[in-house]
A = this chain, B = another copy of it.
Amino acid sequence: MATMQQVAERAGVSIATVSFVVNGSKKVLPHTRERVEAAMRELGYSRNHAGSALARGRTDIIALLYPAFERNLSGTAMTFFTSAADRARERGYTLVLWPAHNEAAEITELTASGLVDGVLLMEVQLEDGRVDRLKEGRTPFALIGRTQDPEGMAWVDVDFASSVETAIEELVALGHTSILYISGATEKRFVAHGGVARARESYLQTMAQSGLTATTLTCGENSAAGRLLAAELVEHHPDATAIILMNEHAAPGLAIGLAQHGVRVPDDLSIISIGTSAHMASMAEPVLTHMDSPAAELGRLGVDAIIERINEPDRPLPQTLIPCTPGEGASVARAPRR
């Protein structure tokens, strides 16, 4: 509650001097600096954010826009938040999570009010209205994920494509030829979600290159849907020997359903879960072999990207692809003999 003015008076210096010591913006004699610091301590001074922001024209705040409509974000969301927040702090920024309903107005309000210096957008869709809005404004932004055509923007994304490719190659090497692809499907979201779309593309392409027949299925993002899917698999896809799973929330239920139908994982059917955490993977029986989502790195690099946009808008755009890392599990085996 104390102002610089009060600190200045108490220390017997001018308000400018106080500013200098608070911000280290100019040299001050050790003697007077001490006096100022003492006064600050005594008065419990703390710099007022609004005043400072107004004068400097920046707030040192970054907004991490997350989609409030999502029922369940990936299990790694928290890891991502935390690593992003830590990184921001390290670099002198404060990161705040900004829930947005995907409304244009919310983004305009956020950026035009000058409340934040930059925006980090997560859960980016192939066509994303939020990105369009962001492009219209002047606030620097960076994407976690990519739109269909992400040229001209800063982004950091998980390399789902290569993960899927790797997974398929692994399965093929184990003799699998009938490999299904299963992704989530909630309110059309997954049709447009960049990562899922690219994973699917990669699946189709890799299968084609391997001369294998591709089959893609969708399944709600919950265990109940996973259980139902198991029945569908048994009935309609009895020949499948492996699954590329892009739907971690359905995984436990799927495994349960399969077991109930007498399908043994991995003896009868192998499963590789893409972009999951070990935590989620272990909720299923058997523990899922998976490709771990690089959530922490994503958060760190995302923050670095937006800060670079803020401070050095003329540098080349940061555009980084991060691979998943292989995770332990017991859901993959050699293809069964037929």
Contact = CB atoms under 8 A, between A and B. Distances in A.
A114 B285 contact: no
A108 B252 contact: no
Given A224-B282, A283-B223, A284-B252, A47 B97 contact: no
B51 A68 contact: no
A253 interface: yes
Interface stretch (A77-85, A184-192, A313-321): A77-85
A132 interface: no
Contacts of A98: 96-97
Nearest to A109: B46
Contacts of A50: 50, 53-54, 59, 114-115
Nearest to A223: B282
Contacts of A222: 279, 282
Contacts of A49: 53, 113-115
Nearest to A53: B50
A33 to B, nearest CB: 21
A50 B117 CA distance: 12
Interface residues of A, number: 49
Contacts of A283: 223, 252-253, 283
Interface in A13-62: 44, 46-51, 53-54, 59
Interface string A138-165: 1000000000000000000000000000
Query: Quick one: which of A51, A222, A249, A256 has the most chain B CB within 10 A?
Result: A256
Contact of A253 (B78, B97, B282): B282
Interface string A204-235: 00000000000000000011100000000000
Contacts of A59: 50
Contacts of A123: none
Interface string A231-274: 00000000000000000010011001001000000000000000
Contacts of A97: 81, 96-99
Query: Which of A108, A224, A285 is the most central at the interface, judged by chain B CB atoms within 10 Å of its CB?
Result: A285
A138 B1 contact: yes
Given A53-B50, A99-B85, A279 B68 contact: no
A72 interface: yes
A148 B48 CA distance: 33
A78 B73 contact: yes
Contacts of A127: none
A227 B53 CA distance: 52
A95 interface: yes
A112 interface: yes
A99 B81 contact: yes
Interface of A: 1, 44, 46-51, 53-54, 59, 63, 68, 70-73, 77-78, 81-82, 85-86, 95-99, 108-109, 112-115, 138, 222-224, 249, 252-253, 256, 259, 279, 282-285, 287
18 contacts: A1-B138, A46-B112, A48-B113, A48-B114, A49-B114, A50-B54, A50-B59, A50-B115, A68-B82, A68-B85, A72-B279, A81-B97, A81-B99, A96-B97, A97-B98, A252-B284, A253-B282, A283-B283
